[in-house]
Amino acid sequence: MIDVEVLGAGHLPEGPEALVLESLCEIAAASRGIDDGHVAIEFVDAEKMTKLNFDHRDKVGPTDVLSFPIDGVESMAKIDSPAPGTDGEVPRELGDIVICPECTADVREAVVHGMLHLLGMDHETDDGEMLSLQVDLLARAGGR
């Protein structure tokens, strides 16, 4: 089970309920072979997102979603190819997803996108796999 903690829901205008967010996280995690973990999703305003985007990515202005893996992306790579001498277990604490509803057209898409980043995927360096999987997962979840 993926345990989802929702923070800052006051920034979420008519968004999906916590149960929908949990379901989206579970579907994304399952696609990467993970069935247990905790993730926090925080909804923030554009001002806070602008600060986070600059502090963590040196980018000016707000963005739609940021992901902060707890143990770093490197530890998540063992999902696909466990390091010699390890059992390939995934850490219980997956990380945090920060979403700015003002900057995204689809909060559900931002949740899946953020979750895939937590699980080690990166659309800036892959050959389209992450965004393709994202579309597929949203379709399976009844979106897009």
SS3 call for 67 = strand
Q: Which tops the pLDDT comparison, 66 or 122?
A: 66
| pTM for this predicted structure | 0.81
- Strand arrangement of the beta sheet that strand 2-7 belongs to: 2-7, 37-43, 93-99, 65-69
The string of DSSP codes covering 6-50 is EE-GGG-TT---HHHHHHHHHHHHHHTT---EEEEEEE--HHHHH
Mean pLDDT for 87-98 is 75
* Range from 7-16, 55-64, 104-113 carrying the lowest mean pLDDT: 7-16
* Of 67, 38, 52, 48, the residue nearest 8 (C-alpha): 48
Domains of the chain with bracketed CATH: 2-140 (3.40.390.30)
Quick: pLDDT tens for 17-46: 677 889 999 999 999 988 888 999 999 999
Q: What is the mean pLDDT of the chain?
A: 83
Q: pLDDT band at residue 98, thresholds of 50, 70 and 90?
A: very high
- Count Cβ atoms within 10 A of the Cβ of residue 40 and give its class: 0-12 exposed, 13-18 middle, 19 or more buried: middle
**Residue 94, pLDDT score:** 92
* Angle (CA) 18 40 133, round 5°: 80
**Residue 59, pLDDT score:** 95
**Backbone φ, ψ for residue 44 (5° rounding):** -130, 165
Q: Which tops the pLDDT comparison, 87 or 70?
A: 70
**Residue 85, pLDDT score:** 47
pLDDT of 86 higher than 50: no
Report whether 99 contacts 111 (CB < 8 A): yes
Report whether 115 contacts 31 (CB < 8 A): no
**Residue 84, pLDDT score:** 46
Q: pLDDT band at residue 144, thresholds of 50, 70 and 90?
A: very low
